[in-house]
Amino acid sequence: MVSVSPDKREVICVITLLLAAFALRILLFPLQGGQGDLNTYVSWFNTAAEQGGSFYSYLWSNPSTAWVDYPPFNVYIFWLFGSIAKALATYGVSAVAIVKLVPNIFDLAIAALIYFFVRKQLSFKLTLVTIGLYAFNPAVIFNAAIWGQFDAIYTFFLVLSLMLALKSKPELSAAAFALGILTKPQGIALLPLIAYLVIKKTGLKRLTLSILSFSATIFIVILPLEWSNPVTFLSRIYLGAYGNYQYTSINAFNFWGLFGLWIPDGGLNIIGWALFGTAAAFTMYFLHRRFKFSGQILAVFAAFMLFFSFFMLPTRIHERYLFPAISMLALMFPFIKRTRLIFAGLTCTLLVNQAYVLAYLNSGTFIAQGDPVVLVVSAFNLIMFMYASLLMWSEIKGKQLLKPELDINQKEPEGESKNEP
């Protein structure tokens, strides 16, 4: 891949686009978000700013009045922006605005990653379109700017991890992946792909170094917070969070949403994980079979399918867990024509899922079983999942339905200047 240095006009255009996306988000901050979630974030921000490394011990010592189930890397974010919020409070700046600011910064950082990933293969105009598809995506904007959720943070680290793995930088990829799951545990969905890429592109020796990098990152993050028994510390956070939500679907309009929301899952969680494991194995088989043909972009498709499968198949899934799939679809948009329908469809379903759930949460009521919106959106998501799976199966059979219009491994055709906006 040939390195192309963007000129000043290009940099100005990209920065202007990102600032416009940021300005739009700020204008949406006053809209009512997830009041319960935002109040919890404000409390955690204040606690982190005041308690620092004692964040968990302080909250766990007061279980009747405080709780926390977020992994440890969040504490650093809580501390930094909690300190900023306290400093700006004297100037009348709302703590909720600071909370909403955080995921929107990471949203635009994801857009910047998309720019660096696609720029060497696309004309500048198409690069801007690709960035805009993510930066101005209504489902993405709703998640961070209106609801105030933090899904953009772990998504940023997962996208970064994938890009570093594709660039044969496995140790850095492993560190970024560690930060992703130290922010939100659902990032684990990407593990088989990162491991495969590390082995495929750099070999077993670098895999060993990557495991060391992964472990060292976790150790460095948790050491200031818990040094006496880190295994018990992490188990309490991750297993506790998973055990608190023993329902088939926690407002996710997915496969289980077809049968109702907030239904105790009993042993169905085992079936859900078996379904996800099967889908993940099929996805990795697809990638292995077709990697030599269009490995780079098909690895992005595999990442999308892992995220999509994680949303659709296990139990105990929230409505927001589809969020990382949107970034993968935006990355593929200019390269694979058949993913554009999926991108449009899942943008709509994620937006409806989030907006519908938030409206009910803020009203203090639950969505009724058999709700027609839940059934229709869940069914549409299942159709999209089946369509994406069929694309993989057809690719395995050699039909090349996912063949890129422009191979991400190739230079852009001669005669098309990359430096001309």
Supply the DSSP string of 51-90, one letter for each residue. HGGGHHHHHHT-TTT----S-THHHHHHHHHHHHHHHHHT
pLDDT in tens, 149-181: 999 999 999 999 999 999 999 999 999 999 999
| Domain ranges for the chain | 245-410
pLDDT at 382: 98
Cα(252)–Cα(262) distance, integer angstroms: 10
pTM over 0.95: no
Give me the residue label for tokens 């940021």: 22
List the single range of 1-10, 270-279, 392-401 with lowest mean pLDDT: 1-10
**396 Cβ neighbours under 8 A, 6+ residues apart:** 285, 286, 289, 290
Collapsed DSSP state (helix, strand, coil) of residue 318? strand
Structure-derived torsion over alpha carbons of residues 121, 124, 127, 131, reported in degrees to the nearest 10: 150
User: Is the pLDDT at 254 greater than 80, yes or no?
Assistant: yes
pLDDT in tens, 28-57: 999 999 999 999 999 999 999 999 999 999
